[in-house]
Amino acid sequence: MKIPGRLSRGVRIPPTAGRDALLLPTVFLFNCYLYSSWRQLFHVSTSPWLLLVWLYGLVGLFFLVWRDKAPVTVFVSQWILTVAAWPISTHYTPVVGVPISLYAVAVHCSRKTSVLALLASLVPTGLAAAVAFEVSSTFSKAISAFIPNIIFLVLLATGAWVAGRSTRANQRRLQTLEYERKMAREALAAERNRIARELHDIVSHAVTVIVLQAAGAARVAETNLAQVIESLGHIQSTGEQAMVELGRLLGVLKADDGASPTAGGLGELGPQSGLAELPVLLGSLRATGMPVSVDVDGTPRALDPSVDLTAYRIMQEGLTNVLKHAGKDSNARLRLVWEAQNLLIQIDNDIKPGVNPAQARRGRALSNGRGLLGLCERAHAAGGHLQAGPAPNRGGYRLTAALPFADTAQRHSAETRSYDSDSGERYERDQGKVPA
């Protein structure tokens, strides 16, 4: 948590005041017992001015309530109050305020600021030890009292500084662990979304093709046995292909659960789907009776594997949607344009309004409403964009996607999430904070 070095205009009692209600009176009594003429301080009835000494000590420690809110300001106040107490030091010498506020500075401020505060604490520490020269009757007694006092007070201030820096280091380590847990949770959520999209695309395409093939086979079962056999063959090949892809995803899940790459994990998954499998996809769609024309402009180029998979899934889901909602009466056209930096994918379905009601009902039954949403997420994750809607001036429907050749989105994400666990500065920048 970023702690400013000074108080804001609206001074409020911090939530730790309840804790300090017991701590501060305790350290005040400790201060009175060790560094005051506490027997004389109780003679308020005969020396009423001693009440001012009590008030001075209590009010001075009261400022410590804000030491976590404004550590530098509170340290300066304790420094001034300790130095200004020299005239009453024979009755009461404030020595606990400076170490307590120094600890807060060491916790919440930078090393440079805390070291300067430690050096500055030597002045009130020396004055507090020098009281021995006022209360001792001889110089030798003053020296014998001054030396242990200065050693104790310097060790007290140094110990407070070391404890504060150690607390700050522990807080940084906790921040680092929390940041890493947050990144792990985000990565897990992203992986779950990716697997959900993969499952949707694989199952959606396979089920759509199988259902339509089975429906076609049922219509001609009594008149065209050869077509029935051909449809069953397509159903079998589509199901086998879906099982292979589902097996790959199950391997990913097994690897995420801690399996080694050689035990069914990533090492045995094989290549992911991509544009190389486009002919197989088109063949499965054409086997249902839906014609698909393909037009390619430009020179094909190598794609980043993740972009290649995204492009394939967009074409698979887009053409499968045409098959779901328009069936074999559609006029699906796929166009691939290899631009200078992007691959443009355009899928048109020129069917005019008035789709067969039975086909429309079947399309709604096969659809779960996540297809286009998943495609938009895929395109965005790859650094591109996707649009879908009625085709202008044509009727029917059009899906358009533009994908960069490299996976710029993932590279940018990796750069912004890189984290220096030693300094913790990236964590505070991500949280909108500036390192102290």
pLDDT tens for 390-400 read 877 666 788 99
Which domain covers residue 350, as residue numbers?
A: 180-417
How far, in Å, are 165, 304, 314, 370 from residue 384 at the CA level? 47, 13, 12, 19
Crossing angle for the helix pair 139-219 and 122-130, to the nearest 10 degrees: 150
- The number of distinct structural domains making up the chain is 2
How far apart (Å, rounded) are the C-alpha atoms in residues 81 and 72? 14
In-domain check, residue 431 = no
In-domain check, residue 256 = yes
Average pLDDT, the chain: 75
The token duo for 332 is 């699906």
How far apart (Å, rounded) are the C-alpha atoms in residues 107 and 113? 11
Question: Which residues make Cβ contacts (< 8 Å) with residue 415, sequence separation at least 6?
Answer: none
Do 231 and 92 lie in one domain? The reply is no
**pLDDT tens sequence across 190-238:** 777 777 777 777 777 777 778 777 877 887 787 888 878 877 887 887 7
More confident residue, 103 or 374: 103
Crossing angle for the helix pair 305-326 and 139-219, to the nearest 10 degrees: 40
Do 125 and 205 lie in one domain? The reply is no
How far apart (Å, rounded) are the C-alpha atoms in residues 157 and 118? 7
State whether the Cα torsion 251-257-261-264 is positive or negative. negative
CATH of residue 341:
3.30.565.10
In-domain check, residue 148 = no
State whether the Cα torsion 76-81-82-87 is positive or negative. positive
CB–CB of 32/56 below 8 Å?
Answer: no
Do 102 and 204 lie in one domain? The reply is no
Q: State the Cα angle at 344 between 339 and 345, rounded to 5°.
A: 150
**pLDDT tens sequence across 157-187:** 999 999 999 999 999 999 999 999 998 888 8
Do 236 and 293 lie in one domain? The reply is yes
Query: Residue 9 above 90 pLDDT?
Result: no
Do 212 and 90 lie in one domain? The reply is no
Do 115 and 223 lie in one domain? The reply is no
Do 96 and 209 lie in one domain? The reply is no
In-domain check, residue 1 = no
CB–CB of 92/51 below 8 Å?
Answer: no
Query: Residue 62 above 50 pLDDT?
Result: yes
Do 101 and 232 lie in one domain? The reply is no
Can you give the pLDDT at residue 132? 72
Can you give the pLDDT at residue 434? 37
State whether the Cα torsion 35-40-42-46 is positive or negative. negative
pTM of the model: 0.51
308 alpha-carbon distance from chain centroid:
28
In-domain check, residue 32 = yes
In-domain check, residue 24 = yes
Question: Which residues make Cβ contacts (< 8 Å) with residue 377, sequence separation at least 6?
Answer: 193, 197
Do 65 and 191 lie in one domain? The reply is no
Do 205 and 107 lie in one domain? The reply is no
Find the range with the poorest average confidence among 72-76, 325-329, 334-338, 360-364: 360-364
How far apart (Å, rounded) are the C-alpha atoms in residues 179 and 273? 34
β-strand partners of 334: 294, 347
**pLDDT tens sequence across 411-430:** 444 444 443 444 444 444 44
State the pairing for strand pair 292-297/332-338: parallel
How far apart (Å, rounded) are the C-alpha atoms in residues 321 and 348? 11
In-domain check, residue 156 = no
Query: Residue 16 above 70 pLDDT?
Result: no
Do 189 and 114 lie in one domain? The reply is no
Can you give the pLDDT at residue 363? 47
Burial of 266 from C-beta contacts in 10 A (0-12 / 13-18 / 19+): middle
Phi, psi of 27 (to 5 degrees): -70, -30
The token duo for 319 is 């053409």
Do 304 and 382 lie in one domain? The reply is yes
In-domain check, residue 373 = yes
